[in-house]
């Protein structure tokens, strides 16, 4: 059973908290799909979705002629609310997870990499911030 299928089984009793969790999870999947389509339309190649390492997860990983682009997707009612969901602890976890991911590549940490943040609101509007963490650490 796929990870999202357990949330879609109508035979499972659902309480209010679980229902909110299911809604948030499915909204996150939809937001990731919107973002992936936008990057593919811009000629990026999708390499991984929800890549999981020991330290965390990277929502989307793309390759380009110049290197790897890792994308953190944030979804909320508004674009500004989505941006507010990104915490310094998450950024640190993204960097740690990126190190794990780069270790799987032939050039390792010598691979050119960029971190983008993609914000999606409840209407499906998308705002991509390229190289979002430049100068962050």
**Strands 67-75 and 45-52, how do they pair?**
unpaired
What pLDDT does residue 134 have? 80
* Full-model pTM: 0.82
pLDDT digits (tens, 9 = 90+) for 99-125: 999 999 999 988 999 999 999 999 999
Average pLDDT of the chain is 88
Domain ranges of the chain: 15-129
CA-to-CA separations, 113 to 17, 36, 45, in angstroms, rounded: 38, 17, 14
> Which CATH fold would you assign to the domain 15-129?
Trna Endonuclease; Chain: A, domain 1 (3.40.1350)
What pLDDT does residue 5 have? 56
What pLDDT does residue 18 have? 74
**Strands 113-120 and 67-75, how do they pair?**
parallel
Consecutive H or E run containing 64 = strand 57-64
CA gap 129, 131 in Å, rounded = 7
pLDDT digits (tens, 9 = 90+) for 2-35: 555 555 566 666 677 777 778 778 888 899 999 9
What is the pLDDT confidence band of residue 66, given thresholds at 50, 70 and 90? confident
């Amino acid at each position: 059973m796929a990870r999202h299928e357990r949330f879609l089984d109508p035979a499972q009793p659902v309480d209010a908290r679980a229902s909110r969790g299911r809604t948030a999870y499915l909204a996150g999947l939809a937001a990731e799909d919107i973002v992936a389509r936008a990057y593919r339309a811009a000629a990026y190649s999708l390499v991984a979705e929800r890549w999981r390492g020991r330290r965390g997860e990277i929502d989307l990983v793309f390759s380009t002629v110049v290197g790897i682009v890792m994308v953190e997707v944030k979804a909320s009612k508004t674009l500004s609310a989505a941006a507010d969901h990104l915490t310094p602890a998450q950024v640190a976890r993204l960097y740690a997870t990126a190190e794990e991911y780069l270790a799987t590549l032939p050039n390792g940490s010598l691979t050119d990499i960029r971190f983008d943040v993609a914000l999606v609101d409840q209407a499906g509007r998308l705002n991509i911030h390229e190289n979002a963490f430049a100068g962050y650490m």
